[in-house]
Structure 1
């Protein structure tokens, strides 16, 4: 029976599940946030592999419409965002922007959003000779998530 079928006093006191009570996500989309481009990758926790998708180059509301299409197509259980830091671990302007992007994703799409330290992913993607450095970076971010949550 759903909470909306209980009297308001009972529905209000019904316990809400916490993130730790939810099953671990199986299907994920990852994002390498940038002000001009957002790299995107998909992956599945069972395989612990990530596959780059096409980067999003739209801006403003069109950017979130593109993300909405990806979420509709891939049906992820959760999202992962790369959060950049200085080499010494200090935050900077893009750290705050990436975290803001994560909050926007959570608010708009009502999915869990996990953060992963993305230091050096672009350098690694470039060293791999990636055609789409941003989406390859997103795949590396997702693989880092898999290593941290295995």
Structure 2
């Protein structure tokens, strides 16, 4: 089956089954390996991408449901918010192992788009991604730093 996807601003015509999870299309068909496999059941968030402005777990999202949608991965040219998050991550040394961080940044970017000045409670409620290293305090600090850089403020 031919599937048309727009990923990071580029159109792709792919011969994949409609029920193939987006994660595997990104990694195996398009070579975009920044999106990680974690759990396969949408619990951990390592596979988070942006679909039309919404943080979405790609491991359970069938490509057949994505016709006409715009998909952004961590490999996309950073916008103002994503660039601020990436800079904060580096400055504050947010990750330890880093495995979850591409999905964490994608989820944090979606949060900052909807809530430019998040409180700690907003971050805790809006970011359900798991970090096995437990760097949640640094993740929260990174989100606050990025919010301040793009015009929000830390709570």
Asked whether the two chains share a fold, i.e. TM above 0.5, the reply is no
Larger helix percent: 1
- After TM superposition, the score normalised by the length of structure 1 is 0.27
- After TM superposition, the score normalised by the length of structure 2 is 0.27
Larger Rg: 1
Q: Which has the higher contact order (CA 8 A, sep 6+)?
A: 1
